[in-house]
Amino acid sequence: MIEIKEILTRIAKGQSKRKISRGLNIHGLTINRYIKECICLGINPEECGPSQITDNLCSAIARNVTTVKKDRSDICPRDKLLLHVKDRIEAYLKEGLTKTKIRELLRRYGITVSESSFLRFVNSHFSKLSKNITVRLPETEPAKYA
């Protein structure tokens, strides 16, 4: 919160974002995010005085910036393709079909996605259904490779 107050106070005093970024070793996008959130809360730090940058404002900015806001526009392309058939994929996994076979079935419905993207989708949405495969190696004497 002290960092946010320092950034906004420097902005209010007229210091450039680049100078603040270099001086405090903070990325420029982080500074822009704090300014944007401050404006959303009703105070433009570029037009107000340093006295208007209060602790309450900074704590509200910190709370809003650290809270994850999942907007539908932030969905990755893979999820846009696969979310509407998530139930179908889950049913296939419960039936015991392999991920390769599921991709093939989805392709028949016109849903084409790369193997790596499909695996990421399955791992992120169905981690409880993923099978952990254990490969057993033969017993060997100490200091020998299997």
Report whether 34 contacts 64 (CB < 8 A).
no
Distance CA(145)–CA(119), nearest Å, equals 31
Tokens of 128: 């409880």
Structure tokens at 31: 């500074």
Measure the CA–CA gap between 125 and 76, rounded to whole angstroms: 14
5-27 pLDDT per residue, tens: 899 999 999 999 999 999 989 99
Q: Where are the domains of the chain?
A: 2-66, 73-125
Q: Which amino acid is it at 5? A: K
Q: How far apart are the first and last CA of the chain?
A: 55
Token output for 120: 């990421």
Residue 98 tokens read as 């392999």
- Residues of the chain short of pLDDT 70, as ranges, are 67-75, 129-134, 145-146
- Does the reported pTM lie above 0.75? no
